[in-house]
Amino acid sequence: MRILVLSDIHANLEALEACMEFAKGKYDRAVCLGDLVGYGPDPNAVVERARAATNVLIRGNHDKACAGLMEGSDFNLLARLATVWTRQQLTAENISFLRSLPEGPLLQEGFQLVHGSPEDEDEYIFGPGEAHPLLHRATLQITLFGHTHRQGGFAMHHNGRFQTIHIPPSEDGLVRTLALENGTRYFINPGSTGQPRDGDWRAAFAILDQQQNQVEYYRTGYNLAFTQTKMMQAGLPEPLVRRLELGR
Ligand code: ZN
């Protein structure tokens, strides 16, 4: 089975469409690790598209905040403004869909889905400091996580060696293939589809290939200017518009 892994789409329809187009014919099932909405200009269209295009979804912190399941009082001002705007836009049906999304970890055949970390859906795994103890305690070989908007991940080898999975700069398309070893445990971050923060503005996704025992990381450009224009027209905060082109 080849699993398309999307995460942190954040109401960016152009980025989602670009990923779906690029991944077309390359996967059997699709999963999403949360944060369908928040920040971007197309919350309804993205919820509907992602709902139709994926087999399994879990919720992210922005899904909870935009659906009114939590206050979002720990969000910064810009995120709070985008949350308020998104709440006003969402249809009743899409709000109830977001409210119905399960909390991670969600166990699938051979891997689990989490938004933040296996122990707390809102926890960020930024670096070795967070990843090392969590990987040490992990019992499953493969955990797919998002939330940080940084493509890559971490591994703990059977001999105890810890590894940060880096993504090299490269052209659009397949940017890295990671061979999965038996006995090694992995935290895999596909990167953010709709608001990357790893210094590369392009939409990110990954494909987990269970036959070949590997993860393929991808990047693809999309019509960024169009997304930014829609954000300006919607009156979303300008720093949120700018950060898209910076990938920060
Ligand atoms: Zn997010």
Model pLDDT for residues 107-154, shown as the tens digit of each residue: 999 999 999 999 999 999 999 999 999 999 999 999 999 999 999 999
pLDDT of residue 182: 95
Mean pLDDT of 189-207: 98
Nearest to 220 by CA among 142, 151, 126, 127: 151
**Residue 73: pLDDT band with limits 50, 70, 90:** confident
pLDDT of residue 71: 84
pLDDT of residue 96: 98
* Average pLDDT in the chain: 97
Cα(244) to centroid(ligand 1), Å: 13
Give me the DSSP letters along 92-161: HHHHHHHHHPPPSPEEETTEEE-SS-SS-TT----SHHHHHHHHHH--SSEEE--SS--SEEEEE-TTS-
Mean pLDDT of 22-41: 98
What share of the chain in percent tops pLDDT 90?
Answer: 97
What share of the chain in percent tops pLDDT 70?
Answer: 100
pTM of the model: 0.97
Cα(36) to centroid(ligand 1), Å: 8
Handedness of CA 31, 178, 105, 203 (dihedral sign): negative
Neighbours of ion ligand 1 (CB under 5 A): 8, 35
pLDDT of residue 8: 98
Nearest to 15 by CA among 153, 194, 156: 194
pLDDT of residue 90: 98
Cα(62) to centroid(ligand 1), Å: 7
Is residue 194 within 8 A of residue 16, CB to CB? The reply is yes
Nearest to 144 by CA among 183, 99, 110, 101: 110
Cα(132) to centroid(ligand 1), Å: 22
- Residue 74 pLDDT > 90: no
Cα(53) to centroid(ligand 1), Å: 19
| List of residues 6+ apart from 71 with CB closer than 8 A | 65
Cα(35) to centroid(ligand 1), Å: 5
